Every structure is written in C-alpha cells, then in structure tokens.
Amino acid sequence: MNTMTKTATGVRKRRGPRGEYAKSSATREAILDAALEVFASGYNAGSLRDIATRVGMSEAGLLHHFKSKSVLLSAVLELKDDRSRALVDMAAQDAAETLRGLVALARHNASVPGVVELYCTLSAESTAPAHPAHEYFQRRYDWVRESLERTFARLIAEGRLAPGISARRAAIATIAMMDGLQVQWLLDRDVVDMADALQEFLDGLVIGGI
Amino acid sequence: MNTMTKTATGVRKRRGPRGEYAKSSATREAILDAALEVFASGYNAGSLRDIATRVGMSEAGLLHHFKSKSVLLSAVLELKDDRSRALVDMAAQDAAETLRGLVALARHNASVPGVVELYCTLSAESTAPAHPAHEYFQRRYDWVRESLERTFARLIAEGRLAPGISARRAAIATIAMMDGLQVQWLLDRDVVDMADALQEFLDGLVIGGI
DNA sequence: GTCTATATTTTGATAGAC
DNA sequence: GTCTATCAAAATATAGAC
C-alpha cells in the first residue's frame, strides 16, 4: 500500500495513502496537538511561538508545515470536526439515538477540557466577521442546526416531541443549551455536569424521555 | 450640588457628586463607549490604539484616564453591569416577573448588538484562568446563578415549576440558554429571535407559562 | 489633561543556508 | 525538513514637555 520515494538527501521515506511523508505526518500531528492547547485560550491570545516551543521546533520550521497562523487554525478545527462527527450519528434512523449521542458526546467532552475550551472560546470569538474562523463556524452551526432539525422532525412525526415546539426551535434550543453549559462548566467545573444537564433538558423536550 | 475647583491652569471646572471633573467625566465616558465597541471582538483582539483613535486622542492621553488595558476592561464591564442590573429585578417578589424581565432584557439586547458581543466573547475568553476578567466572570455567574436559584425556589414553593427539576438546575439551564442563544444570534441574526426562544424555554419550565 | 517621543516586547512571516 | 537570522509591524506602557 505504501510507496517509497527518493528524497533530496537520498534517504528513503514512507509515503502514506494520502501522499504525505511519514515524518511530516507525525510532525504535523504534534503541531496540531500543541496548537489545540494554545488556541484553546483563543486565536488572538495564542502565538505561533508558543506552539513552536511546545512542539520543540522553531517558528520557521512550524511554518513549513502550515504556511500561516490562520491555516493552522483551520487545520485544527477540521481535525477536531472529523473526530466529533465520528462520535455522534447525526442522521441515525432512531432520532432518540442521535440525542443520546449528544449526551454521550457531552460526557466524553468533560474528559477532554482542551477541546471544550477550543470550541467554546473560538465560537464566541468567531462571531466577529473579521475572525479567520467566522465562515467556518457559520457553516458548522448551519449544518448542526439542520441535522438536528431533521432529528426533531422525526420525533414530531412519531408524536414524541413536546407539543407546540417546532423542530427548528428545538434544534436551536438544544445547541444553545450545549454551548451555554460549556461556558459555565469551563468557568467552574464543579458547578454543573454538562451531560446530566443536557439529558435533563432533552428529557423535558421529548415525551417519555430519550 | 456641584462644587467649583481651581485647576493648575486657573480655569474653573465643574465637579460632580463623585468628585470627578466634568471634562474628565465626559472623556472617560467617551473612552468607555469606544472601548465597549473594540472589546466586543475580544480583549486580546482589541487594541488601545484602536480605542484611542476612535475617541480622537493619543494612547498616552487615554492611559491618563485608565492606567492600563485591563483596568479599562474592568471599567467597561462594571459600567455595563450597572446598566443591565437596572433592567431586571433579580429579587422581585413575583418570581415570574423576574423571568419576564429576562425575556425583556433579551429583547432589549437585540437592539444593542455591541453589548451582546462584548459579554458573549468575553465570557468565553475569560474561561482561561489567566484572562484579566476571569474572576469577574466567575463572580458574576455565581451571583446570577444564586439569584435565579432563589427565583425558581419561589416557583417551586408555589408548585409552579415543572416537576423533577431543582431550582439550581433550572437556574443553570436558564443561564445556559441565554448564553447559547447569543452565540447563534451573533453568528447569524436571522436564525433566531433570542427573546422568543427564551420565552418558549421558560414557558416549558414554568407550569402555566410566565 | 493631552501630546510627542520613545522604550520594550511580542508578533507573524520571509530568506536562505544546510 | 529544519534552522538561524532578520524584518516589519503592532502592541502596551512610560517620561517629560506644554
């Protein structure tokens, strides 16, 4: 499956199915891990210098892999996106399963505070139109909202959504609840259990509970 | 009521009840207004230079009134705090009145996007312990949470809160809903009416509605 | 109370050697 | 692929004249 290639130095290196070099790939991952931690306190608050130091290389070395700060941010966001999409089936046939997946995701997130910080801080920061992740978060919220709207539409069809609430409103409220709980949790982790609180909210929304 | 004082230049100036000079007071207000707009996109993203330019003075001139960037941020937050406390009676005898006040506040906030941006961005940013407003937001959330908990406790005493929900959980969920709606509203103002959505949430929480 | 000038850091990014 | 050296810009803050 892997191919071998000659490099400038004459050393042979592994190349993966995507065409990237093994060393590059490992380094890129290390950079992305460090960037996640640094950007967790905000895009503006974090510096390339800090990221480079954590990964043990120079800024120029880092910029060889990601040509600018905003490119690096995008890469971090897309990586984390892939991982969290794998945790929740947003298009499950059983709508309640999707909602239980959200609760499970909330519970999982409590074990990786860095990821929660990243999304919480960046989503708020990115509401500024000039922010490098502005369009990313607009698209992401649109996608989650529409996926959840379909989920709640299924529940309505089954007569299982609390009366008087539209699928769209339920979707908006659910996302708002998840986001808002994160802020309080990050400010003081003893104040709230995100997963329990989300579950309680959804149980109040779905007849018979989720 | 006002007293008059001699200045170094021999010019007489008005002094208000708090002892500040009229010119200082007006300048300070102009600075605070500009700072609100600039800090709306985040503490780190905003610069003193930008604020100084907007208010039409030099950075040194600005720093005569607020001795550092973080002092200025604190002043902005405290000012806005005073104003929003005036809009909602968090300790009203009628619990539903407090909740209706929250909805009214949400409706009012939609007319001053800058304030919403400020609180939304800074509360998320300030979850980082090193942030200059970290303690401020911890205290603020504690206070709001405890006030709302008392409000919901009154509703429980009247048998008007949805069964199975504690006053504390209701308080946490209400705050989360307000915060979360702000993010979605800031990213796309056509997506959600913050006040309507909050009202719907509270109507689902309180038997008979608010 | 406001300005000019300046000190001091820090930042994102590039050029070019190896 | 990584480094050193360097740049240019921007930031916060201070000193001192007026």
Contact B128 A180 (CB under 8 A): no
Q: Look at residue B4 in the predicted model and tell me its pLDDT.
A: 41
Nearest residue, CA→C1' of C16: A60
Is residue B116's pLDDT more than 50? yes
Q: Look at residue A111 in the predicted model and tell me its pLDDT.
A: 97
Is residue A6's pLDDT more than 50? no
Partnered with residue A206 across adjacent β-strands are: A161
What residue segments make up the domains of chain A, in order of their start?
Answer: 8-73, 87-205
Three-state secondary structure call for residue B127: coil
Of A74, A70, A35, nearest in space to A52 by CA: A35
Percent of chain B with pLDDT over 90: 85
Query: Using an 8 Å Cβ cutoff, are B207 and B156 in contact?
Result: no
Of A87, A91, A112, nearest in space to A102 by CA: A87
- Put simply, whether A113 touches B (Cβ < 8 Å) is no
- Give the nucleotide at minimum CA-to-C1' distance from B67: D13
Instruction: List protein-proximal bases of chain D (any atom < 7 A from a CB).
Output: 1-5, 10-16
> What is the signed CA dihedral for B7, B10, B14, B17, rounded to 10 degrees?
30
Contact A204 B165 (CB under 8 A): yes
Q: Assess whether B7 (CB) lies less than 7 A from strand D.
A: no
Of the two residues B98 and A84, the one the predictor is more confident about is B98
- Put simply, whether A169 touches B (Cβ < 8 Å) is yes
Confidence class of residue B24 from pLDDT cuts 50, 70 and 90?
confident
Q: Which residues of A50-75 are buried (b: 16+ CB within 10 A; e: fewer)?
A: bbbeebebeeeebeebbeebeebbeb
Mean pLDDT, residues B60-81: 96
DSSP B161: B
- The class level of CATH for A8-73 reads mainly alpha
Q: Look at residue B22 in the predicted model and tell me its pLDDT.
A: 64
Q: Look at residue A76 in the predicted model and tell me its pLDDT.
A: 98
Least confident range of A82-91, B47-56, B90-99: A82-91
Mean pLDDT, residues A28-53: 98
Strands A3-6 and A12-15, by their bridges, are antiparallel
Q: Look at residue A84 in the predicted model and tell me its pLDDT.
A: 85
What are the φ/ψ torsions at residue B3 (nearest 5 degrees)?
Answer: -110, 160
Query: Which of A138, A183, A206, A207 has the most B C-beta neighbours within 10 Å, making it the best mutation to test the interface with B?
Result: A183
Confidence class of residue A24 from pLDDT cuts 50, 70 and 90?
confident
- Put simply, whether A168 touches B (Cβ < 8 Å) is no
Of A170, A60, A83, A110, nearest in space to A51 by CA: A60
Of the two residues B8 and B158, the one the predictor is more confident about is B158
CA of B119 to C1' of C13 (A): 33
Rounded CA separation A192/A82 (Å): 27
Q: Model-level pTM greater than 0.85?
A: yes
Q: What is the mean pLDDT of chain B?
A: 92
Three-state secondary structure call for residue A161: strand
Q: What CATH number has the domain spanning B16-69?
A: 1.10.10.60
Model confidence pLDDT, tens digit, residues A192-206:
999 999 999 999 999
